[in-house]
Amino acid sequence: MDIPFLLRVVALAAALIPVAASAAPLSLDASLDLAVQRSESAHSARAGAASASEMARAAGQLPDPMLNVGVENLPVTGSDRFSAAREPMTQKVIGFSQEWVSQEKRSARQAAAQASAIREMAQAQAAIADTRLQTALAYFDAYYAAEMLKLTTANEHHAYEELAASRARLASSTGGSQEVLALTAALGMSEDESAEIAQQQNAAQVALQRWVGTATEELLPAQSLSIPTEQDYVASHPLVVAAQRDIEVARHEAAFAATNRNPNWTWSVSYGQRVGNSDMVSVGVSIPLPVSRAERQDRETSSKLAMVEKSEAALNEASRIATAEYKALASDAQRLQERIEHYRSAVATPAQQRTAAAMAAYRSNQATLATLFEARHAELEVQRKVLALQRDLAKTQAQLAYRPLAFGAQQ
């Protein structure tokens, strides 16, 4: 085999690989995965959760000990000023001090930090859920725009054929100029409709590419979405989960504030070195005196308990919002499904029958091409209406399926 020819074949195949990869059909599930992988908002939320988790680990530790180094009782006046070797009371001191936090208080502080970390994790899951939802909505816009473009393109093709046939009839003196003019205008309308839908499709594809990061010419039909029950939807709604996490944080912070009624002790030990005299060791304990617990510590605890009440009220409001949202979306989905079924039977089927009748009449020379095109155009409008209803239904179901946090994320 010719080696240069083989090399050209290999080079051509390598050049076509990216094209084939970019032209591969894209499914809804693949779009959601790509969007989550490249979402900066989800990445930011996960980083926040990791930060809070690290802080929770450190919250249960004792404060760092303090190293004390210095000189005590150094003369500053008289003949012995600034001399560390003449005054018997002067000594060089080195020592350590440690603030002691009780195990109860450390546990309470760590529990509050862990509750904050769990709240951050819930926020990360909410960011992922929002990314999936926005991607699904963009996907359905792009998919149904492509389906509408197929309809208008087919109608445009029919218009070309019918105009060519009309011109042929005119040339053979079996057709009229009015028919040609009517079909010429109809062709222009078809071309404009295709251009309009192509513009909408391009905008939808750009919106989808903003989430998935890649452009694709073909989108696969989405499988039926799993719609949660009202109870599951409300329990997993981001607002409800966030309010629940706020309650947990507020409760643990209140419990930690209550431990401040018992102050932290600080113990210290130091070694003093004197020139010409005995060295000394000092041991001490510092104990804060809470002289007004009712005005300080108790008020801090009351403040945190008020935050618990605030969070509980926010949870109740969030539950009401989520419940109303679910009922509205579920009602919209049901009514859209009913409208699609009714429109198909009451409008789409008669439109198809009208087109078939017009075709039969045209073939028997009982109708003009313009009449046939008018019937086809009317059927096209009906099909576009069905696609628009299906798109609205898919987007409504996507809000029901993807707005809640993923199963287990709210735990």
What are 49-62's pLDDT values in tens digits?
888 888 888 888 88
Instruction: Determine the residue type at 270.
Output: S
CA distance 192 to 207: 23
- Shortest CA distance to 159 belongs to which of 372, 351, 387, 382? 372
- Shortest CA distance to 318 belongs to which of 251, 392, 243, 254? 243
- Residue 294 clears pLDDT 70, i.e. is over it: yes
- For residue 176, CA distances in Å to 171, 172, 183, 354, 364 come to 9, 10, 11, 24, 17
- For residue 199, CA distances in Å to 141, 181, 206, 274, 378 come to 12, 27, 11, 91, 22
- Residue 235 clears pLDDT 60, i.e. is over it: yes
Between 316 and 61, where is the model more confident? 316
Q: Which of 76-85, 137-146, 215-224 holds the top average pLDDT?
A: 137-146
Position 176 confidence tier, pLDDT thresholds 50, 70, 90: low
pLDDT of residue 411: 39
Mean pLDDT (whole number) for 357-374: 79
CA distance 409 to 273: 61
Phi, psi of 288 (to 5 degrees): -65, 145
Beta pairing, strands 280-286 & 66-72: unpaired
pLDDT of residue 384: 87
Tokens, residue 150? 């197929």
CA distance 387 to 391: 6
- Residue 243 clears pLDDT 90, i.e. is over it: yes
* Category of 76 on φ-ψ map: left (φ > 0), alpha (ψ -120 to 50) or beta: alpha
Between 249 and 261, where is the model more confident? 249
- Residue 202 clears pLDDT 80, i.e. is over it: yes
Task: Kindly state the helix (H) or strand (E) to which residue 211 belongs, with its residue range.
Answer: helix 177-212
3-state secondary structure of 294: coil
In the chain, the percentage of residues whose pLDDT exceeds 90 is 37
In the chain, the percentage of residues whose pLDDT exceeds 70 is 85
- Judged on CB neighbours under 10 Å (0-12, 13-18, 19+), 132 is buried
- Residue 147 clears pLDDT 50, i.e. is over it: yes
Phi, psi of 409 (to 5 degrees): -70, -25
- Shortest CA distance to 329 belongs to which of 187, 229, 216? 229
Lowest pLDDT segment from 76-80, 263-267, 286-290, 321-325? 76-80
pLDDT of residue 9: 38
pLDDT of residue 185: 67
pLDDT of residue 129: 93
Beta strands (DSSP E) in 58-127 are: 66-72, 91-100
pLDDT of residue 238: 95
pLDDT of residue 162: 62
Tokens, residue 124? 């990360």
- Shortest CA distance to 83 belongs to which of 75, 73, 91, 94? 75
Mean pLDDT (whole number) for 360-365: 82
pLDDT of residue 327: 96
The mean pLDDT of the chain is: 83
pLDDT of residue 128: 92
Most distant pair of Cα atoms in the chain: their distance:
136
* Residues 129 and 406 sit within 8 Å (Cβ to Cβ): yes
pLDDT of residue 163: 62
Q: What is the pLDDT of residues 325-361, one digit of tens each?
A: 999 999 999 999 999 999 999 998 999 898 889 888 8
Which residues have a Cβ under 8 Å from the Cβ of 24 and sit 6 or more positions away? 216, 218
DSSP string, 132-194: HHHHHHHHHHHHHHHHHHHHHHHHHHHHHHHHHHHHHHHHTTSS-HHHHHHHHHHHHHHHHHH
Q: What is the pLDDT of residues 385-409, one digit of tens each?
A: 999 999 999 999 999 999 999 743 4
pLDDT of residue 251: 93
Mean pLDDT (whole number) for 167-180: 57
pLDDT of residue 186: 65
Whole-angstrom distance between the N-terminal and C-terminal Cα of the chain? 64
- Residue 272 clears pLDDT 80, i.e. is over it: yes
pLDDT of residue 1: 43
Between 176 and 362, where is the model more confident? 362
pLDDT of residue 237: 95
Residue whose tokens read 């680990």: 57
pLDDT of residue 380: 84
3-state secondary structure of 292: coil
Mean pLDDT (whole number) for 32-55: 88
- Residue 43 clears pLDDT 60, i.e. is over it: yes
Q: Which of 17-31, 87-101, 370-384 holds the top average pLDDT?
A: 87-101
Between 245 and 49, where is the model more confident? 245
* Residues 69 and 91 sit within 8 Å (Cβ to Cβ): no
pLDDT of residue 362: 74
Residues 312, 314, 319, 320, CA torsion sign: positive
CA distance 276 to 337: 100
